[in-house]
C-alpha cells in the first residue's frame, strides 16, 4: 500500500497537515501564555476590589483571595501612586519581570518557548494594565510551575487535535484521490495490458471516458497511439505477405531468366548481322533482370544478424574492396586510393564492414563509368574521441535530386538503369547495426562524399 500512489499521498497529507500544525503550535502556545498571565492580572484586580471596598479584612480572607487569584501579592497604581493591596510571603527573590504592555509577537513566542524548555519553578513579576479603568497599572508576583503545566497540557491537546484532524483529512483525501485518480489510472493501465496481449485486435483499443481533463487527454493520446499501431501492424502483415509472394515470384523468374541467358549467350555466336546487333542488348537486359531478382531475394531474407565485433585493420579491408572492384570492372580509367592512418584499428564486424565499403565503392564506380569519363575513388578515415569516421569520396557526376530524396530507401534510391536501389539501403542497415549512421556529406558536379560514423562507445581498442 505504501508503494501505491494513494498510499504515498496519504502519508504526504498527514505529514503536511502535521507540519502546518507545528508551524502554528508556537504562536498558539504563546497566545495561551499571554491569556494566562492576563487572567491572573484580572483575578488579582478583582481580589483588590474587595480590599478597596473594606479596609479591614481578616488575614484568612486575604490568603483566600491571593490563592484564588493564583498570585503572591498585588500592587495597584492609582492616581499616580503605587499601593501594595494584597501580599503574602514570597519563597525567594523575583527571577524576572514580564511587562505585557511592551511585549511583541516575537518576544511572546520566544518567552513561551523558554518557559516550555525550563522546568525550574521561578518567581516572576507580571505588569499589565487594569481592566475597566481600574487604575494606571497592576502588578502581581506569581510562580511559573502552574503556568508551565497549563502550557504543556494545552500543547498536548493541540498536538492530539492536530493528529486527529490530520488522520481525518488524509483519509478523506485518500478516498478522493483513489476515486478520482487511482482508479482511472488503473483502468488505463488495464487497457494497455489487454492491448499488449493482442495488439491486432481493434476491440482492445481504449475508448476515452475520463472526466478529469488530464486523464482524458492521456486516454485520447493512448487511443490515437493504439489506433496507429494496429493499422501499422496490419499493414506490416500485408507487406510481409506481399514480400513473400514477391520473393517466390523473383525466385521463379530468376530461374526462367537464367535459362534465357544461356540461350542468349549461344545467340552471340551467330553470324547473322541482325542477331549480332541484337544479342548484346538482349544479354545486357537479361543480366540486369537476373541481378534485380537476386538483389530482391537477398533483401527479402531475414534481417541482418547482429555484428560480431572484433579488431579490424581498416586499410586491409579497403584494399580487399579495391581488389574486388578492379576484377569486376577490368581495366579502365578509374583509379583507387586510400588515405588511412597507418595502423588504424577499429572495432567492427569485418564481413559487414567489407560489405558496407563494397556497396559504396561499387556505386561510385558505376556512377563514374556511366559518365564516360575518368575518375578516382578514395577511402579516407580519421579517429576522434567518440567515433571513427570513414569517408568514401568519388569524382563522379554527383547524385540527382530525385535520388537524394529517397537515398536510403529500398528500390527507390537508384540512379542507374537496371539498378535495384538496395546497395545504400543495405549499407545503411549494416551501419545502424553497429550503432552508427551513414550520411551523405556532399554531392555535386565535383563528386560525392559518403561518411560512415561508427561510435567508439562499444569498446576502445
Is the same domain home to 61 and 119? yes
Is the same domain home to 283 and 411? no
Which of 52-56, 94-98, 405-409 is least confident? 52-56
CB 219 within 8 A of CB 210: yes
Is the same domain home to 259 and 290? yes
The domain boundary, picked from 299, 321, 356, lies at 299
pLDDT of residue 281: 64
The percentage of residues in the chain with a pLDDT greater than 70, rounded to a whole number, is: 77
pLDDT of residue 257: 64
Is the same domain home to 326 and 420? yes
Asked whether residue 201 is domain-assigned, the answer is no
Average pLDDT over residues 80-105: 86
Question: Rounded to 5 degrees, what are φ and ψ at 359?
Answer: -65, -45
State how beta strands 437-444 and 447-455 pair. Answer: antiparallel
Is the same domain home to 40 and 80? yes
pLDDT of residue 278: 67
Asked whether residue 230 is domain-assigned, the answer is yes
Asked whether residue 208 is domain-assigned, the answer is no
pLDDT of residue 70: 86
Asked whether residue 185 is domain-assigned, the answer is no
Q: Chain centroid to CA 235: how far?
A: 32
List, for residues 214-225, the tens digit of each pLDDT value: 888 888 888 888
Is the same domain home to 283 and 349? no
Mark out the alpha helices in 310-449 (DSSP H runs). Answer: 314-329, 350-371, 401-405, 423-433
3-state secondary structure of 343: coil
Name the residue with higher pLDDT: 282 or 149: 149
Average pLDDT over residues 18-36: 85
CA 321/CA 339 separation, integer angstroms: 14
Domain region containing 227? 213-299
List, for residues 261-292, the tens digit of each pLDDT value: 666 666 666 777 776 666 666 666 666 666 66
Mark out the alpha helices in 268-341 (DSSP H runs). Answer: 273-299, 314-329
Residues 6+ apart with CB under 8 A from 342: 315
Asked whether residue 123 is domain-assigned, the answer is yes
- Record the cell numbers describing residue 29, joined without a space: 502556545
Closest residue by Cα to residue 130 from 42, 51, 48: 42
Question: Rounded to 5 degrees, what are φ and ψ at 97?
Answer: -120, 135
pLDDT of residue 247: 62
Asked whether residue 102 is domain-assigned, the answer is yes
DSSP assignments along 74-136, one per residue: EEEEETTEEEEEE----SS---EEEETTT--HHHHHHHHHHHHH--S--EEEEEEPPSTT--S
CB 330 within 8 A of CB 369: no
List, for residues 363-393, the tens digit of each pLDDT value: 899 888 888 888 999 999 999 888 999 999 9
Is the same domain home to 418 and 324? yes
| pLDDT band per the 50, 70, 90 thresholds, residue 99 | very high
Q: Chain centroid to CA 221: how far?
A: 18
Name the residue with higher pLDDT: 96 or 327: 96
Asked whether residue 182 is domain-assigned, the answer is no
The domain boundary, picked from 167, 184, 201, lies at 167
The percentage of residues in the chain with a pLDDT greater than 90, rounded to a whole number, is: 23
- At how many degrees (to 10) do helices 145-177 and 5-53 cross? 150
pLDDT of residue 439: 94
Average pLDDT over residues 163-189: 80
Taking all residues of the chain, what is their mean pLDDT, rounded to a whole number? 80
Number of domains in the chain: 3
List, for residues 393-416, the tens digit of each pLDDT value: 999 998 888 777 778 776 555 555
Is the same domain home to 163 and 88? yes
Q: CATH no. for residue 363?
A: 3.30.565.10
Is the same domain home to 31 and 158? yes
The domain boundary, picked from 238, 265, 299, lies at 299
Closest residue by Cα to residue 107 from 98, 116, 94: 98
Asked whether residue 156 is domain-assigned, the answer is yes
CA 56/CA 335 separation, integer angstroms: 135
Is the same domain home to 9 and 118? yes
Closest residue by Cα to residue 340 from 312, 378, 371: 378
Name the residue with higher pLDDT: 337 or 48: 337
Global confidence as pTM: 0.44
3-state secondary structure of 261: helix
Average pLDDT over residues 243-252: 62
Is the same domain home to 263 and 338? no
Is the same domain home to 223 and 131? no
Amino acid at each position: 500500500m505504501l508503494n501505491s500512489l494513494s498510499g504515498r499521498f496519504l502519508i504526504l497529507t498527514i505529514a503536511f497537515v502535521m507540519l502546518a500544525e507545528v508551524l502554528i503550535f508556537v504562536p498558539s502556545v504563546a497566545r495561551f501564555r499571554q491569556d494566562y498571565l492576563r487572567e491572573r492580572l484580572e483575578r488579582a484586580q478583582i481580589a483588590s476590589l474587595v480590599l478597596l471596598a473594606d479596609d479591614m479584612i481578616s488575614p484568612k480572607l486575604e490568603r483566600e483571595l491571593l490563592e484564588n487569584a493564583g498570585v503572591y501579592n498585588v500592587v495597584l497604581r492609582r492616581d499616580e501612586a503605587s499601593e501594595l493591596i494584597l501580599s503574602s510571603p514570597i519563597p525567594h527573590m523575583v527571577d524576572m519581570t514580564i511587562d505585557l504592555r511592551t511585549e511583541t509577537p516575537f518576544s511572546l513566542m520566544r518567552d513561551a518557548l523558554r518557559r516550555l524548555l525550563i522546568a525550574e519553578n521561578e518567581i516572576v513579576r507580571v505588569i499589565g494594565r487594569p481592566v475597566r479603568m481600574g487604575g494606571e497599572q497592576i502588578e502581581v508576583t506569581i510562580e511559573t510551575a502552574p503556568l508551565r503545566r497549563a502550557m504543556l497540557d494545552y500543547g498536548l491537546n493541540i498536538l492530539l487535535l492536530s493528529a486527529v484532524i490530520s488522520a481525518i483529512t488524509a483519509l478523506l483525501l485518500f478516498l478522493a484521490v483513489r476515486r478520482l485518480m487511482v482508479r482511472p489510472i488503473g483502468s488505463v493501465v488495464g487497457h494497455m495490458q489487454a492491448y499488449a496481449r493482442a495488439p491486432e485486435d481493434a476491440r482492445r483499443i481504449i475508448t476515452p471516458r475520463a472526466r478529469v481533463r488530464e486523464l482524458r487527454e492521456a486516454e485520447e493520446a493512448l487511443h490515437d497511439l493504439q489506433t496507429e499501431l494496429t493499422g501499422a501492424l496490419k499493414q506490416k502483415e500485408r507487406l510481409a505477405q506481399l514480400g513473400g509472394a514477391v520473393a517466390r515470384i523473383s525466385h521463379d523468374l530468376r530461374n526462367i531468366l537464367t535459362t534465357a541467358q544461356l540461350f542468349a549467350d549461344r545467340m552471340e555466336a551467330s553470324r547473322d548481322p541482325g542477331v549480332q546487333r541484337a544479342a548484346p542488348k538482349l544479354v545486357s537486359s537479361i543480366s540486369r533482370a537476373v541481378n534485380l531478382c537476386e538483389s530482391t531475394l537477398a533483401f527479402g531474407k531475414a534481417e541482418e544478424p547482429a555484428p560480431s565485433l572484433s579488431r579490424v585493420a581498416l586499410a586491409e579491408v579497403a584494399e580487399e574492396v579495391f581488389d574486388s572492384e578492379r576484377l569486376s570492372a577490368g581495366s579502365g580509367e578509374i583509379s583507387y586510393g586510400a588515405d588511412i592512418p597507418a595502423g588504424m584499428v577499429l572495432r567492427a564486424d569485418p564481413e559487414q564492414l567489407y560489405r558496407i565499403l563494397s556497396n559504396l565503392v561499387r556505386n561510385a564506380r558505376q556512377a563514374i563509368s556511366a559518365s564516360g569519363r575518368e575518375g578516382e575513388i578514395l577511402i579516407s578515415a580519421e579517429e576522434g574521441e567518440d567515433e571513427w569516421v570513414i569517408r568514401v569520396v568519388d569524382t563522379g557526376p554527383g547524385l540527382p535530386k530525385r535520388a537524394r530524396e529517397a537515398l536510403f530507401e529500398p528500390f527507390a534510391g537508384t540512379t542507374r538503369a537496371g539498378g535495384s536501389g538496395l546497395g545504400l539501403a543495405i549499407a545503411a542497415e549494416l551501419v545502424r547495426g553497429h550503432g552508427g549512421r551513414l550520411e551523405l556529406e556532399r554531392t555535386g558536379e565535383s563528386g560525392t562524399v559518403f561518411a560512415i560514423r561508427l561510435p567508439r562507445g562499444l569498446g576502445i581498442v
